[in-house]
Each structure stands twice: as structure tokens, then as C-alpha cells.
Structure 1
Amino acid sequence: MTESDGKPDPGRAASEPQYADRVYRSVPGVISGVMLLAVAGWLIIDAALNGTGRTPWIALACAPVFCLPVAAYTLRPAVLADDRRLLVRNPFRTVHAPWATVEGLRSGYSVELFAEGKKYQVWAVPVSLRARKRAGRAAARAAAGGDPRASRTASLGSSLRGTKPGESDPTKAWSDQVVLTLQELAERNAGKPEAAGPVTVRWCWWIIAPTLVGLITLITFVVVL
């Protein structure tokens, strides 16, 4: 949006996010989801085209029952963050949390978001204990070598200010790095007027409803046909 003289509209520019969404998702989860969907699609199409009797109908009814949940748990989860809000997209619901409502994030056996007195799981950032152990060994080696950054890796209460944006820290597991980055964004943006508002939760009915319909159809075909 520009004014008549071609200069940017200052009112609109002030309300725009200072940077695009930062998107976090599990790459191994996406890859496994694509592979599962490819195998399932091949099996379902083969059964629908070459099956006999009730097999084609059962195969078609299985498609939404299997494919939609797989897509929901592997392809859909994502975390998006800008200077106004944190958006957590889980398999069956989406949590929109303005930074002013974010009370904290925790990375234990899973990543959890705390906002307005409630706890929400963050599916898009899985915790790998193996990666955490590997990062701990890297931190120990860095400390032995005199790396000053290693002293900040003992707990999740530390900051990523010693790491440049976009730079991977080998002394922290990926999930812990994401949590620290989001905590820093929450602290930086919580006081902004555009970061205020209530937490909203939306259920993903376009996945839930077809899955339930497909399940009912599948049971009907199995029992009746």
C-alpha cells in the first residue's frame, strides 16, 4: 500500500510485521509422512483398480481413514512466529497465541506452550533425547576446549544471544534451540500493542469430519457387504 506520491504509507508500515513468519517443522516427520502416503496411495489405487468383490469399496473407504490422519500428524504440524503472535499448528487444532499471552515454553520430553493459564503441546518440534545427549557431549567438548558459549548450554534458561540468527548451535539440540528462540521472541515482543489479544483455538474439522465419515463408511462396508 502506497500513498499518491509513491512513498510507503507510514500507518500501514507501522502495523506490518517487521519480518516474515519464522517457520519450524520436523523435516524427518514430513519425509516419513510423504513416504507413508505414497505407499498407502499405491496400495489403495491398486486395490481399487484390481480388487474383486467388496475389496475396491473397502480400499476407497480406507483412504480418508488412513491418509488424513497421517497427513495431520506428519505434514500439517508447524510453528509460525512473527512479531505479533505465535501460531502453533497441531494435528487437529491450531493455537493462535499473541505474544502478550505467552507465559513460557518448556522443552522436556515434549515441547509445551503455556498461555493464559493453559498448556498446549507443540507437535511440530519433537524432542530427541539422542540429539540432546549428542549436544551435551558437544557442549562438554567445547567446555574442555575453552569455548565460552558452552557455559550457557547447561539449562534452557539461557539465551541464544550468543548465536547469530539462523546459525545452528551444535551444543544444543534442535528442539531446545527453537524453544530458546521463541522465548526470546516472547520477551522482546510481549509489550507491543499489536501483540495483545486473547488466545484462540480452532479445530481442524476439514480433517476430523472426513476421517469420521470414512470410518463409519468403512465399518458399514465391512459389516454389510
Structure 2
Amino acid sequence: MSATVFPKAAPGARTFLSGGIRFCGWAWIVFAVLNLADLAWRGRDMASVVAAAVMLLGCGIAYTVALRPRVVADDEAVRFHNLLRDVRLPWGAIDRFEGGDAVYAYVGEERHRAFVLQTSPRARARTELKARREDKKLPEAVAEYMRGRTATDFTVEQLRELAAERKKDEGTPGTVTSAWAWPAIMALVVPAALTVVTIIIASV
């Protein structure tokens, strides 16, 4: 997990994302680009067209699943950029943040879940085991702070701190809004349709 500031983000915005998943996404895209270049250079049959369509579909999946998901916190709100939807939660509307297997924001009876930084019970167990192994290498205060914590836990902790700071300046609670992420939808639908069409044509 990393918290960083993107060049196009609003001033003071912090972005939480998974560095490991993003690496896998970019690795696939590089792999796909190299293969598409090879297909463009040597491919001369319908099988090459089908393979190219599958590569493009893989890029759409990599973007939607690995590169797009993030949590963005700015001066006005927290935004959950999930797979196919974006949720904007004004600071004043958020009752609390909770962790566990994912980052959750509670607004009254509603619970909003961030797709990025999800943690399975197995991953949490591995983190705790690794922390116990590293305890002897760290100062006691640092080891106590790190023990049993996952990237999800650290993100929730930072969001709570930001919420405490932002709510001091909040007036009206604001309204939670949700919208479809059309670039992500098109990144899946277009290459998927192209893949289906090319497979049908190749099988005729």
C-alpha cells in the first residue's frame, strides 16, 4: 500500500492504492503491448486478430481491476474509485471509518466499501506472522505499532485522522453521490465485444 499525491489531484489530496496490484497491472500492459507489436509485425491470419482482441481485453481488465481502484481524500470529500463506480463521500456526511477485510465508510445506515486494499483472513494471518518475525529487528515502540497491522488498517487510521481534521471546518454534512465509471465500462465492453466478434468470424 502507498499513500501518494498524483500530479492531477486537487491540492492537498492524498491517494491510497495498492502498489503490488498496480505493478501487476502495468506488467500485463507491457506484456500485451509487446505481443501486439509482434502480432502487428508478423500476424497475417484471423488467429492473430483474435489474439490481439484478447490482449486488448486483458488490458481493459488490468486497467479496471489493477490500475483504476484507489481511495482519494481531498479537502472536501473522500472518493472511492471502485471497479465500475465512483462514490463521493463528503467529510461531513461520514460517521466513521472501519477496517477489517476492506476499507469501509459508514454514512448513517449505509456502508460504502472501497475495492482497493481488501485483505483476506489468510493475508492478515501472513502479516501477523511476518510482524512477529520482524519484532526482534525493530525498536519495541515501532514493533508494537506495526504488529498485526495490514495496509487496510493503516489506511483506515489515516482516513480517521483526516476526517477529524476536515470535520472541524465542515458546515453542512453534504450528500453522498455515486456514478458509473464509463471509461472503465468502455475499457471492458469494447474489447469484449471485439473479442466475441473476431471469434465468431474465425469460427465461420
TMscore range, shorter length: 0.7 to 0.9
Indicate if the aligned counterparts of 1:84 and 1:195 stay in contact, CA closer than 8 A: no
What letter matches 2:105 in structure 1?
A: L
2:93·2:176 contact (CA, 8 Å) conserved in 1? yes
Query: Aligned partners of 2:112 and 2:20: how far apart in 1?
Result: 22
Q: CA deviation at 1:194?
A: 5.4
For structure 2, the 5+ residue unaligned runs are 1-9
Aligned Cα root-mean-square deviation (Å):
2.9
Aligned-residue sequence identity (percent) comes to 21
Whole-Å separation in 1 of the counterparts to 2:14 and 2:193 = 39
TM-score, with length taken from structure 2 = 0.76
State the TM-score, normalizing by the size of structure 1: 0.70
Alignment correspondent of 1:131: 127
1:48 and 1:55 in contact (8 A); partners too: no
1:220 corresponds to 2:197: yes
Alignment counterpart, residue 170 of structure 1, candidates 139, 146, 165 = 146
The 8 Å contact of residues 63 and 184 in structure 2, kept in 1 or not, is answered as no
- Aligned residues, how many? 188
**Does the aligned pair in 1 maintain the 2:83–2:115 contact within 8 Å?**
yes
For the residue of structure 2 that corresponds to 1:83, the secondary structure is: coil
- Change in CA separation of 1:55 and 1:149 when aligned onto 2, cut-off 3 Å: closer
Hey, what's the Cα distance between the residues in 2 that align with 1:195 and 1:44? 51
- 1:192 aligned counterpart, secondary structure: coil
Q: Distance in 1 between matches of 2:184 and 2:142?
A: 48
Question: Residue 32 of structure 1: CA displacement?
Answer: 1.3
Moved more, 77-86 or 120-129: 120-129
> 1:208–1:197: structure 2 CA closer, same or farther, 3 Å change rule?
same
Q: Deviations over 1:108-162 (max 9, x none)?
A: 222222234322322232334122443466679989x5x4994xxxxxxxxxxxx
Considering fraction of residues, name the structure with more helix.
Answer: 2
Q: Is the 8 A contact 2:60 2:191 kept in 1?
A: no
1:195 shift after superposition: 6.7
